[in-house]
Structure 1
């Protein structure tokens, strides 16, 4: 359909004119439209160009930023490459060091293993040496013990000389004399009568005292004590005290371990056999060691004073003192114990010196029992009576003596014996001048 309608009646010029005008108008309109379109397109293009310029500017900025970032990244990459290179070098160095350390460790491991083997060898050698040392020490200890035993049995060194032992015995005798004299003078005796002299009428305790006194002093000395007067001169009581102390001191010095002589008899028998079969050095050391160990076995130190005090009580009752045994015992313990202990300590010391300290010979305290015949070469008369005779029997011993005996070398048991100190004994003839003592009452008993 055409844009314009026309009537067929219109003249052609008019039509043509109108067509021209319309064509001109259409052209103008079309040109205007085209202009505006072009302008519009231009503006759009300009806007697009501006927009694109902005985009380009933004892209340039972005590109610059990216270039800056890229540059920074490149710098970082360079640093990283440098760092990587450095780390690579360090790694190579570490690998080299690791290889070197591994080789060194391997070498050290070999060295350690070698040292361990060497250590084991040293340990084994040490154990072997320790074992040998222990065996050597054991053998040495054994040999040392054997040597000590041999030295103990073979040594001849004495702790004191014979002269020193004599001095100790003399000192003991002096103390015995002083104590006996002091005690005898300390008691007051009453004058006796015919009743007290009748043994059949005496009490049981008195008879028991007589019997106990006889075991030490002998029958004749007890009879003299019982029948003689002591109220004016207690000399006979003093002699009885001396004899009692000497008897107990002799027992203490000779004792193995301060027990009853019957209990010690077996040891004495054994020692006698040892003396007969062994050399002096061996028998002497046997005696010394036996005494040492026997006395160490004692649970407690024995009270030796009780025996001596009992002997004094028996002497006093036999001599006619009428106090009871308990009263006399208490008085003696309270008044004379210090002196008694002094004597006992001296006797015990001699026991150790003679029994343990002297081995080159045998020293024995010489005590003469009652009723033994007087022998002038080995005994001294305590009172030096001119009438002393070897046919007289000893009443008692007041002073201890000392005898030395040594076995001669050789198979046969032969002995060298000598009296170093004579014991002093009381003879009936020595009492002739003592007041109130009648030794002639029983002449047969004193013959």
Structure 2
């Protein structure tokens, strides 16, 4: 038993020794001088036992390093994802922010515009209320005056009736006093009775005649009262009648006419070519120069005939605008466009006197009815007026172009059939072409009618329509188109220089390039009442300049020829 136990103990001992020997520093790091022993040789021959703690420590450190690497990689990927997610979101948010800011600014501008429009509408509403209140006051005043006049007429009729009755009674008393019953007379009693009976019958006849007269006067008074009521109803109809066109609509119509005139002048200028020796060509047309000087003035005529327009024809375009404006202004100066001048002058004198002495509703009513019934009596008068205005504009335009030395350009000229094929088939030399153009008339009314007839007719219809509206459809005031004559003095408050932004306004007025608009209202029904309007006073008349006319001064030459 013992040897076996010793054997096991020995094995255990050897194993323990081997365990500690393997972990002994002296064993691991023994010097080379140490003598080898049998035990050491046995120990070297033993198989090393792995250390679990070191292995676990190494595994833990390895796992910790791997965990740190994984965490660092995860953090790096998270930051990269966040950066990649934030980078496209930031421009999108900025764009949304910019869009929101733009919408906010647009909304603010819209709110300001709506507030301004609201204030304007409120102001217009107040003005309309004031105008209606003034009209109601005027109506009430006229009603009171009519009632007073009716009361006075009734009182006069009553006084006349009383005087007639008193006169009849006195006549009756006088007749009775002339026939006493106990008077001494050589006549027999039968004669006295006959005379008394005759006087009595005469008195009865006069009394019956007085009764018949009172009945007739009552019938006349009833008829006159019915007539007064009918007149009052008709008068109230015109007093309470509203204007068919507002001031803003009439102002827009004037702007449209100015635009059409500008387009026509520009188109006519583009179709022209200009010779350098235009004064030589203009000298051969002395009649056109005289007519243009009488219509537009000698200064603009001299400038047109002496300047070279081949480089810059702006003066020709301005002259065409002034020519059309002057022609339309002359047509609108009449009471009815196309009406004979003698009859028209008489109607104008009547209307001017009525406007000065009667209230605004009365004169407006007469003006509307007269203008309307003239056109009803003469249905073709409107067409005649349009055609006459078109022909006058074309004739004046042809004279202006002739004075300026204009010749139709080959691309847009409307020549006669006999001359057109010749020019199109073989074009002569430039010198011979210039000589040919100098020998031919520059422009004719027929050529202008063929090229610009529809455009001029459109302008004439717009003018006649505006004249019909201002004379028939507007009762509260008078609207007049304003054009400045070449003899008038420049006033910046009443007119506007077309080239004021480019040079100093100086010199006399050459022409009017665009119409203005003036509103004239009779405020007082009695002459002598002073009303202040736009710095000017007049007898009960208020004048307001709604649109200043645009004019051209002599200073335009400083812009065209700078020194």
Q: Which TM class, normalised by the smaller chain length?
A: 0.5 to 0.7
Alignment of 1:315-330 (within 5 A): 315-321=400-406, 322=438, 328-330=444-446
Distance (Å, rounded) in 1 between the aligned partners of 2:229 and 2:507: 57
* Unaligned 5+ runs, structure 2: 1-222, 407-437, 528-538
Q: Report the CA distance between 1:344 and its aligned residue.
A: 0.8
Judged with a 3 Å threshold, the aligned counterparts in structure 2 of structure 1 residues 193 and 361 are, in CA distance, closer, same or farther, namely closer
Paired residue secondary structure (2:555): helix
- In 2, the alpha carbon distance for the partners of 1:152 and 1:213 equals 48
- Would the aligned equivalents of 1:310 and 1:329 in 2 still touch at CA under 8 Å? yes
Alignment match of 1:248 (pick from 324, 327, 331): 327
Give the SS at the match of 2:509: coil
> In structure 2, do the counterparts of structure 1 residues 370 and 161 end up closer, same or farther at CA, with 3 Å as the change threshold?
same
- 1:170 maps to 255
TM-superposed CA distance for 1:147, in Å, is: 5.1
Q: Structure 1 length as normaliser, TM-score?
A: 0.60
Q: Once the 2 structures are TM-superposed, how far is the Cα of residue 209 of structure 1 from its aligned partner?
A: 1.0
Corresponding residue number in structure 1 for 2:486? 370
Partner of 1:423: 549
Q: 2:301 aligns with which of 218, 222, 226?
A: 222
Q: Using a 3 Å threshold, how does the CA distance of structure 1 residues 194 and 338 change in structure 2: closer, same or farther? A: closer
Residue 466 of structure 2 corresponds to residue 340 of structure 1: no
Pairing partner for 1:295 from 359, 375, 382: 375
Structure 1: gaps spanning 5 or more residues? 1-137, 441-447
Q: Tell me the SS of whatever aligns to 1:188.
A: strand
Distance 1:228 1:257 in 2: 39
> How far apart, CA to CA, are the structure 1 residues paired with 2:241 and 2:545?
21
Q: Is the contact made by 2:497 and 2:552 (CA closer than 8 Å) also made in structure 1?
A: yes
For 2:337, the equivalent position in structure 1 comes to: 258
Contact residue 179 and residue 339 of structure 1 kept, 8 A: yes
Q: Is the 8 A contact 1:313 1:325 kept in 2?
A: no
Counterpart in 2 of 1:186?
271
Q: Distance in 1 between matches of 2:522 and 2:556?
A: 37
CA deviation after TM superposition for structure 1 residue 419, in Å: 0.2
In the aligned structure 2, how far is the partner of 1:319 from the partner of 1:409? 50
User: Are residues 260 and 217 of structure 1, via their aligned partners in 2, closer, same or farther at CA, if it must alter by over 3 Å?
Assistant: farther
Shift of 1:194: 6.4
Using structure 2 for the length normalisation, give the TM-score: 0.48
How many pairs are equivalent?
294
1:230-261 Cα offsets, whole Å, 9 max, x none, are 22222111111101111122233443222489
User: Do the aligned partners of residues 411 and 310 (structure 1) sit closer, same or farther apart at CA in structure 2, a change above 3 Å counting?
Assistant: same
Instruction: Report the 3-state secondary structure (helix = DSSP H, G, I; strand = E; otherwise coil) of the residue aligned with 1:172.
Output: helix
Q: 1:269 aligns with which of 349, 363, 378?
A: 349
- 1:339-379 per-position Cα deviation (integer Å, ceiling 9, x unaligned): 11111111111101111111201111011111211110110
Paired residues for 1:73-152 under 5 Å: 146=231, 149-151=234-236
Structure 2 vs 1, CA of residues 366 and 156 (structure 1 numbering), >3 Å: closer, same or farther?
farther
Residue 325 of structure 1 and its aligned partner are, at CA, apart by: 5.9
Deviation at 1:324, TM superposition (A): 5.7
Contact preservation (8 Å) 2:265, 2:320: yes
Residue 426 of structure 1 aligns to a residue in which SS?
strand
- Which structure has more relative contact order (CA 8 Å, sep 6+)? It is 1
Q: 2:510 aligns with which of 395, 405, 417?
A: 395
Deviations 1:418-443 (A, max 9, x none): 100010000111332226xx9x9xxx
Among residues 524, 533, 538, which one is paired with 1:409 in the alignment?
A: 524
Q: CA RMSD in A?
A: 2.9
Counterpart of 1:98? none
1:133-177 CA distance string (max 9 Å, x none): xxxxx9999678635641454245111111111111011101111
Give the whole-Å Cα distance in 2 for the aligned partners of 1:141 and 1:209: 63
**Deviations 1:310-338 (CA, angstroms, capped at 9, x unpaired):** 01111011111357669621111111111
How big is each residue's C-alpha offset from its partner over 1:368-411, in whole Å with a ceiling of 9 and x where there is no partner? 1112111101101112246444x632110010000011111241
Quick check: which has more Rg, 1 or 2? 1
1:411–1:243 distance in 2 versus 1, CA, 3 Å:
same
- Provide the secondary structure at the position in 1 that maps to 2:487: coil
Match of 1:311 in 2: 396
Q: Tell me the SS of whatever aligns to 2:321.
A: helix
Report the secondary structure of 1:420's partner residue: strand
State the distance in 2 between where 1:347 and 1:323 align: 37
